[in-house]
Structure 1
Amino acid sequence: MTSFFDQFMSPVLLGVPLVVLAVTLPWTLFPSPLPRWLNNRLLALQSWFLSRTSSQLFTPMSAGGHKWALILTALTLYLITLNMLGLLPYTFTPTTQLSVNMGLAAPLWLATVLIGMRNQPTIALGHLLPEGTPVPLIPVLIIIETISLFIRPLALGVRLTANLTAGHLLMQLIATAAFVLLSLMPTVAAITSIVLLLLTVLEVAVAMIQAYVFVLLLSLYLQENV
């Protein structure tokens, strides 16, 4: 009887962690543009998705942040692919590892902070102290705002990890219950299987939404600093 949390362990083959393969695999699945006047349906769908995503992220942002369009749009597509591939049987989801998510969140968050400090240091530092703050509360508010600033990458990584881990764990629990009840109470097992099917559909939506929320929050951090 293995632990339910074994599914979140990085698989190892001949001493080599397969998380490296899992992280690089999605790049091979993206279709590349063809030297033709008209694209096929898959390329047209991908182009429409990329244009709509970049439009949603960068319409409310000033022109200085539009340089990040390629990075954030590619990150959205990459995270969605990783999350969706993790829902397939006998696969491993790298985004259930906090180290992977922090490796994506921390450098990008730090880049937004450094851009704000370089381009508009007065406004960037002004976020640490709201206007009209009473003098006795100034030191306390500066400490609180500084902590909230440095906790942002942790919140990004933990949010993505917790949502995917909870969903995968709940799916495995319900699937195990359906398998055990199949011989004891077939009717209850059938109802449990229907619940599992609905939960799978929900997890597909969560996989896409959490990838979008991750990039959306990064774009909001960038919007404060450009």
Structure 2
Amino acid sequence: MTLSLFDQFMSPVLLGIPLIALALTLPWTLFPKPTPRWLANRLLTLQGWFVNRFVYQMFLPLNLGGHKWALMLTSLMLYLITLNMLGLLPYTFTPTTQLSLNMAFAVPLWLATVIIGLRNQPTHALGHLLPEGTPTLLIPMLIIIETISLFIRPLALGVRLTANLTAGHLLIQLIATAVFVLLPLMPTVAVLTATLLFLLTLLEVAVAMIQAYVFVLLLSLYLQENI
């Protein structure tokens, strides 16, 4: 039973070909391309409005040096949202439930923000490791603690995204299994459980979007500290 619950998080293989490559490529084929015409359709207009609002809200507290990251962080958020949402469809696979993939997103981007801080303002970047006014006896311990907290950041990014999506998918599967088991035995309870399953699915849709936003938001905050 335990193995069958976690089977949905295994990378599927068809004819020896890992389908995670298809799952990672599919989101880019779903977004409509911008048109050079003055008037676009409703989908393109809504997509453009969403991207513009996100970029405005995300980079409002950043100075001009951080605006160079707008294209990459916006693309990353759209990519993560699409992967998370597609994983909620039946007979699909969610790549973002794999910790290795999330760490592959988190570590290079976090490391880039740290390197930018050390290159542009090394004194300020290193000053985060030791708060001002620290007693002399606590200096070595605080430096160690702040260094550990700095290196935990990418791990927290990847684990947060993985854990939230994995927990939601497992809960949906458990409640759906309960509905099928209870349907012939207690139809009324099964209907109530199915209602709970519908509400949980709506919550999981919100979580899929929020977690992608939180991932990119935290990266922008790390960037803000180092610019």
Shorter-chain TM band: over 0.9
Matches within 5 A, 1:1-226: 3-226=4-227
In structure 1, how many angstroms separate the alpha carbons of the residues matched to 2:78 and 2:111? 21
Task: After TM superposition, give the deviation of residue 39 of structure 1 in Å.
Answer: 1.2
* Cα-to-partner distance string for 1:138-162 (whole Å, 9 max, x where unaligned): 0000000000000100000000000
Gaps of 5+ in 1: none
In structure 1, how many angstroms separate the alpha carbons of the residues matched to 2:15 and 2:90? 22
* Cα-to-partner distance string for 1:6-60 (whole Å, 9 max, x where unaligned): 0000001122211111011101111101121111110111111111111111000
Task: After TM superposition, give the deviation of residue 174 of structure 1 in Å.
Answer: 0.1
Task: After TM superposition, give the deviation of residue 200 of structure 1 in Å.
Answer: 0.3
Query: Structure 1 counterpart of 2:223, which letter?
Result: L
Query: Structure 2 counterpart of 1:74, which letter?
Result: S
Task: After TM superposition, give the deviation of residue 66 of structure 1 in Å.
Answer: 0.5
In structure 1, how many angstroms separate the alpha carbons of the residues matched to 2:226 and 2:204? 33
In structure 2, how many angstroms separate the alpha carbons of the residues matched to 1:13 and 1:172? 23
Query: Structure 1 counterpart of 2:82, which letter?
Result: T
Query: Structure 1 counterpart of 2:172, which letter?
Result: M
Deviates more, 1:8-17 or 1:161-170: 8-17
* Cα-to-partner distance string for 1:80-136 (whole Å, 9 max, x where unaligned): 000000000000000000001000000000000000010000000000000111111
Deviates more, 1:34-43 or 1:143-152: 34-43
Query: Structure 2 counterpart of 1:6, which letter?
Result: D
In structure 2, how many angstroms separate the alpha carbons of the residues matched to 1:16 and 1:82? 19
The two structures, once aligned, show a CA RMSD in angstroms of 0.8
In structure 2, how many angstroms separate the alpha carbons of the residues matched to 1:124 and 1:184? 63
Query: Structure 1 counterpart of 2:156, which letter?
Result: A
* Cα-to-partner distance string for 1:170-211 (whole Å, 9 max, x where unaligned): 000000000010000000000000000000000000000000
In structure 1, how many angstroms separate the alpha carbons of the residues matched to 2:188 and 2:115? 59
Task: After TM superposition, give the deviation of residue 222 of structure 1 in Å.
Answer: 0.2
Query: Structure 2 counterpart of 1:65, which letter?
Result: G
SS at 2:183's partner residue? helix
